[in-house]
Structure 1
Amino acid sequence: MKKILIFLVVGIFGNLFYSHAQKAQIYNLEKLYSPVVGDGNFSVWREESVLIPIRFDSKDLSAVSITYEGPNSQVEFYKLHEVWADFSAGNCGETKTQGTFEKVKVPDRAELMTGNSFNPDSENQWILLSLRLNQEVPAGSQSYKITFTQKQKKSEVKGSLSIRDRSLEGISGLDFYSDFWQFPVAMADFYKTKPWSASHWKEVERMFDQLGAINQHSITAFVFWDLYNTRIRPLDEMLIQVKKLPQGEYRYDYSTFDKYIQTAIDRGISDQISIHNLFPWNGFLFYFDETKGEVVSIQTQPGTPEYQEFWKPLLVDLEKHLKEKNWLDKAVLFVDERDPNQTLALAQWVKSIAPGFKMGFSGDFYPFLSPWMDDYSTPVNVVLDPAELSKRILSSQKTSIYTSCFEQPNQPNFLLTSDLRDIYFLTQLSNTRGYNGFLRWAFNLWSSEIENSAIYSDLPSGDAHLVYPNGQVSIRYLVLRDALEEIKKFKLLGKLSYPGDMVNATNRYFLINIEEERYQMVRALKNYLNE
């Protein structure tokens, strides 16, 4: 009987202890759904951000407060929410729809904390600490400590910062851009609000603010409702309202278009206006037919009479309007992964009727197409011949790389199931190739379940978004911002001594397909930047 009582007492107290046991641990910035413990030691410049992932483990889901002790810094804590994702890289459209893929929860949605306290979502709560060392912090090694307090019980993580005698001062003035295509109407659909209503405009403003923080250079514009127009919507939701009068003439209302462009420019995104819909994948064009009293659609292709009858007056009128607004020099008619021969013929036709427009193209590199494309983005596995790149540079034409849903699981990408180190690799790869920036096709094409699930029927998880609703970003967004800081560091060091060996090392082609070699390159690059 005494033995039974002892076991019961031990069991009760053991369960009580276990229920209140808690632990905090620093991890490496890699695949957080399969975490690797980190040592918490970093080499940094002043005014550079440092991202530190921490997991707080506790059976208790009551409130937790966090305190930071260390060098004088701007401190931000993000609560990372787990989002469902699938391992479907390399599968798009029908192959994704017909496939079955393993699912996993990934800490990706980043909610900026206020008051440095949070309520855990689960027993394993991810937190991201962002430190930005102030200018007056002296060089040398300094320690830091982060304390988690829950019901008077404390857990600590510690590390050290090796502070270099250099200053970064953010990414302002960086001559390397991000170009994420925007889907403002998808935001309106998520919030169940009318596109271009007062509440929608507030979200558009916030979208451009978020883009500005990652050095976005281009405004994604369109004629109809977005880049792909998968369903017909009302006339007043068009960015440019196109009407066909009873006598057959077209009239255009640019009021929403103008407000959209000006909103971006007012927030510092003013280098380029990328106008889509000229050669869409589904081949549709739309207008409001005043005779029928409804929006109608026509499926056609460049070069056909129906196509030219619609687009010629629109391009001529839009060119005139953009010239009046002093925006024509920024305007680029963008074509996405279409037939290069058709694209060349289209560019030649556009130049014959509206010569003020520039052209842009994303897709494989074709030397015969290159002279016509002021903005050319190629897949990550395409390497331009140095002579072709020199021609583009001498012609002041922009060149970038992009990733999409087609990259295989072992290849670098921005997906939820990608290794976060890939973001550092991809941006530096574009930079060391001598390109102007990095492009990705979707900033915020949200589903109705995006806050909790990024599983799409036809796309791998994370392919269609970098930010979340309600002003929340992703950890991928924050890593990208940090990667752009590394590019600025690289360019600053390059002014002191040309980093030729590092450039050559980063450009080794096999890195795209061999993960471990790629991550060794990322480590070597960080060591170089922080020598």
Structure 2
Amino acid sequence: MTWLLVFILIGGISFTQDLSYSQRNHNYYTERQIKESQPEGNWKVLPFPVMVSFGNGNVRYAKATVPLHTVQKNWTVTAWKGEKVHTQLLVWTNKPLKEVSFTVHLLKDAKGKVIPAENIKAGFVRYVITDEFAGGCGYRKPVDFDSSLVADAVDIIGAIPVEANTVQPLWLSIHVPQTAEPGNYSGSITVKADKSYTLSYTVQVINRTLPSPDQWTYDLDLWQHPAAIARVHGVALWSDEHFELMRPYYTMLAGAGQKNITASIMDEPWGHQTYDDFPSLIRWVKKKDGSWFYDYSLFDKYISFVMDCGIKKRINCYTMVPWALSFRYFDEALGTDTTLKAAIGSEEYNTHWTSMLTDFTQHLKDNGWFGITTIAMDERPMKDMQVVIALLKKVDPEWKIALAGNYHPEIEKDIFDYCLASSLQFDQHVLSERIAAGKPSTYYTCCTENYPNGFTFSPPAEHVWLGWYAAAKGFTGYLRWAYNSWVADPLRDSRFRSWPAGDTYQVYPGPRTSIRFEKMIEGIQDYEKIKYLQKEWSDKNDEESLKKLNEALRVFDIEKLKTVPAEEMITRAKKILNQ
């Protein structure tokens, strides 16, 4: 893939832009501009031409609006051992800055114990075009919706030019080692703009330890889209370079505690609803004699690869019930790909899938994967779901099934990995039985909900709120489409033809994390803390502490978000976790 360098002039500053995501040493890109990003507020009367301060990690600061009226030079946070904490810094200026950079410094306590600098990460927060909820699901044209620039992507570059009369946020994360001793650790970050600015941070480490992400109990399932990675990096699908490029994305997802591998066992399980294709990991071949051959070589390579990246608890295979009831395969007699169109439960459908499932079952058993594999499906008519369940159980009674959709008591016991829409809940006795049996019992959000959600315009605290809601309602985790199903130009414009902006992805090409993704991890960490404290206080018969925690959890109800911001709920409740 060819790439192009373009010289751009902003405020008299010349710099280069790489237009290709595939050039790993040329990561700078320019943001799109829209009318609404024109300067707001009195930039001319800033106390100083350049201002630097800590901000609030739960705020998406507008690019062209003066963000603060007072400067905060110190940040203090309480953390468990093993926890990652974060905040934002802000640089705002009424003159162009040729380059803004930063240097993080280690933290040290009074005894000389340190949290090393490599545990401290910082990145410039970049602005992307977003839109509005406006009804949620359904095809949309950008001109029909309000659009704006919003802060979300956390960049991987070490320096950036800043235009006059704009804000440049900087995301700061500190990962406390599990081996850290309790105490107050102090350090600083130096921001270099027109001159050097030093801001101080203190982490108060308490004597509680958060497990590593691979030990978290929270069932996180963000669906992966491997073809999108190949497209944005300009490499051939399934090439060695493609696998090399996928690794940091999946490692980052594993670091959030991801449990499930998203595996397509047929072409286009969701009927081309995404920007990129979703090809099958298994090649279906109908031989000239009418028998079937299934090539699992890519499936095996991909599953093994994702497991090596740290995602290995479950394999969810999509699907026997695609949105379009058509099934692609290669016909040797015709010498070309062809498609079977068959209704669920028809003789053609049953024959087609019985052959494949019988062979697939044995292959999974040979690889030692059968026990962690499900056939996954979205909500479908009850009759269709019952047909699929019966067919699977006929092939092998031990087959597991995953479903994301409505609550159906008729088939609940047949569903191993059951994910409900956020407006629904399991009956309490059913949920207790499922958890005792080790069955993932989660909830999801999608284009249907205005809140809580993870669009690029959603308040960041709502992503933290998701973890608290799971704990409050007894869910074991959360599911979302998708981790990285990118739109045409994901770094600059998060809008899509079908759903609210940002609905299809939580991280950016690079890989670049996001405010949304980091806030989601914060909520998962809080979930793990809640479970830890509930057990500890229950074992110690500490009824007073348990009562306070349970009272705090009762606040987390979706209806309350109509009048109480997520940040307000979370700020109050978090105090209990760090006592």
Cα drift, residue 346 of structure 1:
1.5
Q: Give 1:241-390 correspondences, 5 Å limit.
A: 241-390=283-432
Indicate whether 1:148 and 2:191 are aligned: yes
Asked whether the equivalents of residues 287 and 333 of structure 2 are also in contact (C-alpha less than 8 Å), the reply is: yes
Deviations 1:146-193 (A, max 9, x none): 332224x23444555444343435434111121111111122222333
Residue 131 of structure 1 aligns with which residue? 174
Residue 51 of structure 1 aligns with which residue? 86
Within the candidate set 57, 77, 97, 1:29 is matched to 57
AA paired with 1:93?
G
Q: Give 1:141-290 correspondences, 5 Å limit.
A: 144-151=187-194, 153-158=195-200, 160-168=202-210, 170-230=212-272, 238-290=280-332
In the superposition, relative to structure 1, how do residues 138 and 378 fare at CA in structure 2: closer, same or farther (>3 Å)? same
Within the candidate set 141, 144, 151, 1:100 is matched to 144
Asked whether the equivalents of residues 147 and 156 of structure 1 are also in contact (C-alpha less than 8 Å), the reply is: yes
AA paired with 1:395?
A
Q: Secondary structure at the match of 2:384?
A: helix
Deviations 1:403-424 (A, max 9, x none): 101002xx21111111111111
Cα drift, residue 473 of structure 1:
1.8
AA paired with 2:578?
N
More off after superposition, 348-357 vs 139-148: 139-148
Distance in structure 1 (CA, Å) of the matches to 2:151 and 2:291: 53
More off after superposition, 38-47 vs 273-282: 38-47
Q: Secondary structure at the match of 1:230?
A: coil
Unaligned ranges ≥5, structure 1? 1-14
Distance in structure 1 (CA, Å) of the matches to 2:537 and 2:338: 60
Asked whether the equivalents of residues 213 and 254 of structure 2 are also in contact (C-alpha less than 8 Å), the reply is: no
AA paired with 1:427?
G
Asked whether the equivalents of residues 268 and 322 of structure 2 are also in contact (C-alpha less than 8 Å), the reply is: no
Residue 493 of structure 1 aligns with which residue? 533
More off after superposition, 177-186 vs 140-149: 140-149
Residue 6 of structure 1 aligns with which residue? none
AA paired with 1:21?
P
Distance in structure 2 (CA, Å) of the matches to 1:136 and 1:339: 51
Cα drift, residue 216 of structure 1:
0.7
Indicate whether 1:506 and 2:506 are aligned: no
AA paired with 2:413?
P
In the superposition, relative to structure 1, how do residues 511 and 141 fare at CA in structure 2: closer, same or farther (>3 Å)? farther
Residue 81 of structure 1 aligns with which residue? 126
Asked whether the equivalents of residues 263 and 315 of structure 2 are also in contact (C-alpha less than 8 Å), the reply is: yes
Q: Secondary structure at the match of 1:62?
A: strand
Distance in structure 1 (CA, Å) of the matches to 2:534 and 2:560: 24
Asked whether the equivalents of residues 381 and 512 of structure 1 are also in contact (C-alpha less than 8 Å), the reply is: no
Cα drift, residue 53 of structure 1:
0.9
Q: Secondary structure at the match of 1:497?
A: helix
Distance in structure 1 (CA, Å) of the matches to 2:507 and 2:273: 24
AA paired with 2:54?
I
Asked whether the equivalents of residues 404 and 463 of structure 1 are also in contact (C-alpha less than 8 Å), the reply is: yes
Cα drift, residue 398 of structure 1:
1.5
In the superposition, relative to structure 1, how do residues 401 and 500 fare at CA in structure 2: closer, same or farther (>3 Å)? farther
Distance in structure 2 (CA, Å) of the matches to 1:504 and 1:135: 29
Cα drift, residue 99 of structure 1:
8.2
In the superposition, relative to structure 1, how do residues 29 and 201 fare at CA in structure 2: closer, same or farther (>3 Å)? same
More off after superposition, 477-486 vs 440-449: 477-486
Q: TM-score, normalised by structure 2?
A: 0.81
In the superposition, relative to structure 1, how do residues 141 and 356 fare at CA in structure 2: closer, same or farther (>3 Å)? closer
AA paired with 1:262?
S
Distance in structure 2 (CA, Å) of the matches to 1:208 and 1:314: 29
In the superposition, relative to structure 1, how do residues 447 and 231 fare at CA in structure 2: closer, same or farther (>3 Å)? closer
Cα drift, residue 98 of structure 1:
9.2
In the superposition, relative to structure 1, how do residues 190 and 136 fare at CA in structure 2: closer, same or farther (>3 Å)? closer
Distance in structure 1 (CA, Å) of the matches to 2:459 and 2:273: 35
In the superposition, relative to structure 1, how do residues 166 and 356 fare at CA in structure 2: closer, same or farther (>3 Å)? closer
In the superposition, relative to structure 1, how do residues 527 and 320 fare at CA in structure 2: closer, same or farther (>3 Å)? same
Asked whether the equivalents of residues 171 and 488 of structure 1 are also in contact (C-alpha less than 8 Å), the reply is: no
More off after superposition, 328-337 vs 204-213: 204-213
More off after superposition, 362-371 vs 117-126: 117-126
Cα drift, residue 434 of structure 1:
2.4
Asked whether the equivalents of residues 31 and 418 of structure 1 are also in contact (C-alpha less than 8 Å), the reply is: no
Q: Secondary structure at the match of 2:250?
A: helix
Unaligned ranges ≥5, structure 2? 1-42, 109-113, 539-545
Asked whether the equivalents of residues 376 and 401 of structure 2 are also in contact (C-alpha less than 8 Å), the reply is: yes
Q: Secondary structure at the match of 1:131?
A: strand
- Provide the aligned length of Structure 1 versus Structure 2: 509
In the superposition, relative to structure 1, how do residues 419 and 448 fare at CA in structure 2: closer, same or farther (>3 Å)? same
Larger RCO: 1 or 2 (CA < 8 Å, sep 6+): 1
Indicate whether 1:519 and 2:562 are aligned: no
Root-mean-square deviation (CA), in Å? 3.0
In the superposition, relative to structure 1, how do residues 287 and 172 fare at CA in structure 2: closer, same or farther (>3 Å)? closer
Distance in structure 2 (CA, Å) of the matches to 1:333 and 1:358: 7
More off after superposition, 250-259 vs 513-522: 513-522
More off after superposition, 385-394 vs 460-469: 385-394
Distance in structure 2 (CA, Å) of the matches to 1:349 and 1:489: 41
Distance in structure 2 (CA, Å) of the matches to 1:370 and 1:98: 40
Q: Give 1:116-127 correspondences, 5 Å limit.
A: 117-120=159-162, 123-127=166-170
In the superposition, relative to structure 1, how do residues 379 and 236 fare at CA in structure 2: closer, same or farther (>3 Å)? closer
Asked whether the equivalents of residues 466 and 523 of structure 2 are also in contact (C-alpha less than 8 Å), the reply is: no
Asked whether the equivalents of residues 89 and 407 of structure 1 are also in contact (C-alpha less than 8 Å), the reply is: no
Cα drift, residue 452 of structure 1:
0.7
Cα drift, residue 273 of structure 1:
0.7
Q: Secondary structure at the match of 1:412?
A: coil
